[in-house]
Structure 1
């Protein structure tokens, strides 16, 4: 299942021109999904249709799918029948997100609507909601899931709860998504905007770190920026991520050699399967540097997040690359080459046995 990046737009809080500019910029950096909201729109139906059709048509021509967030109240407000989703198809949407659910049978029936729209379910509930829907034999190809976002600080999901909710969907083979928060964006659908993330622990982290974490869990397919507008720097950083391989940002040690830089940044690293509690060992890489010259450099200790490389004094272990996960005394046979940045230290726990990972120099 190909993983995607997405943005969010709120036409009632901006202009069509600004939304188009943002969509085009995101597309340039590889984004392919758009979330937008009908819950907070308070305009006549004719104006809603005109604005949304123009924006969604623009996105569609760029190959970006648009999901509309709705609730039962939206059906009533716009006088739309549950048995006919053609209004949303006329807008050009690829799918609708049900912010509030129905009774299970209704969700299942919606997946067979003649419009063939994707029906996106709210994942942020640790109840048997999904199994109830599946018991009514929906068209699973038209069923996807998305977590909520939380505009008020300290109200985002607790991590353990998030994992339980996400597993319910992932274990059933349903496509999943969650929201991250831009640190540059200024608005969302509601007046309160302390960021728009799914996980509370993400609220003040850089957007790229949030995305790395969601993908590292293996439970989230699509990562969507909840608030608008993210900066071009954020869009670029997210677009450069590998959705399938964890890349850790590294601050380099002074005096590091070109050979050590090559080992760090031009190699894919693989953690050994027989793991140590003190370090993540990338041992395959040393086979390619048996003839390299790696002079020894002194350092004081090995702290969590330090990246060390075996030097000329380390015999057959020369070139072996290790990431410290538990403090240790210094070892003169190793050179400290750099350190995983503070914001990403928690990601080290996702590098388990036989997990591939990479390093990237922090700019």
Structure 2
């Protein structure tokens, strides 16, 4: 899975540079920017674009720029000169309205191309391919939606992803941030409407489940904790922030794998039973184990002794099972994405 961030050229260079450096440190691989947002005025686009390209190259991130015919005027370029953007550090362009199929196909032989995943239909896609569009140089980018209740549905995104995958084209979707939200509405910038007010990590994992190949943060920042969480997602590991009781602190920063035959009611750690620790019974007044509770089987459980589990539902308590800790509230929603063979890590 590939993750990226959005940069808005009207933001101060210092804020953009901090965001880029934070993203690069946490495994993000590309940058999206738009060259035709109406409110972005009052500065030299050429200087800003070149600055962005150079800054991205310094941290080995690609840049995809959203362009329109009006953008070309701002950049002082003719369409035939767009391949020169590579010299500015721009890897590709997302092309929406105002360009012909022949133009887009021609440009795919020089730059990476982003198509509009939400509006290009199968007939238009066939025309592009007939004109010579290179699928391995092309991606389909969904829109983000600043206005509440205007984002698309999960099923619509899944269907569109399937369309482009049939033609060998990867897809990208947006999730909101959780720190500085983009103005003027400050309502988050998701592709899917139901993602507007949920954790960016949760939204990213659902986009992955719906067949999205690349995921981009629409807003101009993430909290430090969430950015760190994405560094684990980039490695295929679900980050779970947890609190552990005394005697179980060694589970922090430990990586586990859910069994290939996942249980219905608990997440069972493959690795935990290979650990040498033996746990004495730890009496608890609990009558039930609530969802999100982290438990360890004690020596009364015989050959299961040492197995670590995360409760997915409320379960009856047992004297054979100790309470080791609990998943923190901000990570509870991520438990549903720890399926068969999925790795996860406990973070403090």
Q: Same fold (TM over 0.5)?
A: yes
Give the equivalent residue in structure 2 for 1:219: 211
Distance 1:242 1:301, change over 3 A: farther
**In structure 2, the residue corresponding to 1:277 is in which secondary structure?**
coil
Summarize the alignment of residues 146-161 of structure 1 with structure 2, pairs less than 5 Å apart: 146-161=141-156
Aligned to 1:268: 256
- Contact 2:232 / 2:239 at 8 angstroms: preserved in 1? no
1:69 alignment partner in structure 2: 66
- Equivalent of residue 96 in structure 1, options 93, 96, 102: 93
Structure 2 counterpart of 1:200 = 193
Report what 1:60 is aligned to: 57
Q: Helix, strand or coil: the match of 2:241?
A: strand
Which 5+ residue runs of structure 2 have no aligned equivalent?
none
Instruction: Give 1:304 deviation, angstroms.
Output: 2.8
1:297 matched to which residue of 2?
Answer: 283
Report if the CA contact (8 A) 1:108-1:138 is conserved.
Answer: yes
TM-score by length of 1: 0.80
Give the Cα–Cα distance (whole angstroms) in 1 for the partners of residues 304 and 246 of structure 2.
18
Q: Could you give the per-residue CA deviations for residues 102-142 of structure 1, whole angstroms, max 9, x where no partner exists?
A: 56554333212xxx211012223584254553454422231
Give CA-to-partner distance per residue, 1:40-63, whole Å, 9 cap, x none.
26659x932123223322322332
Q: CA deviation at 1:180?
A: 2.2
Other-structure match for 2:4 = 6
Q: Classify 1:297/1:28 alpha carbon distance in 2 versus 1 (closer, same or farther; 3 Å).
A: same
1:257 aligns with 2:270: no
**Residue 236 to residue 244, structure 1, CA distance change in 2 (3 Å):** closer
For 2:108, the equivalent position in structure 1 comes to 111
Pair 1:136–1:280, CA change in 2 (3 A): farther
8 Å CA contact 1:245–1:357 kept in 2: the answer is: yes
Q: What residue number does 1:239 align with?
A: 231
Describe the shift of the 1:248–1:133 C-alpha distance in structure 2 as closer, same or farther (beyond 3 A): farther
Q: 1:31 to 1:304 in 2, by over 3 A?
A: same
Unaligned runs of 5+ in 1: none
Q: Give TM-score, length-normalised by structure 2.
A: 0.82
> CA, structure 1 residues 75+175, in 2 after alignment: closer, same or farther (shift >3 Å)?
same
Deviates more, 1:154-163 or 1:71-80: 71-80
Q: Post-superposition shift, 1:84?
A: 4.3
Give the match's secondary structure for 1:268: strand
- Paired with 1:117 and 1:105, the residues of 2 have a C-alpha distance of 14
User: Aligned partners of 1:66 and 1:101: how far apart in 2?
Assistant: 21
- Select the residue among 175, 180, 186 that pairs with 1:185: 180
- For residues 101 and 130 of structure 1, what CA distance do their matches in structure 2 show? 16
Going from structure 1 to structure 2, the CA distance change for 1:171 and 1:301 (only over 3 Å counts) comes to farther
Provide the C-alpha distance between the structure 1 equivalents of 2:222 and 2:5, rounded to a whole number of angstroms.
8
Preserved contact between residue 297 and residue 321 of structure 2 (Cα < 8 Å): yes
SS of residue paired to 1:219: coil
Aligned length, in residue pairs: 345
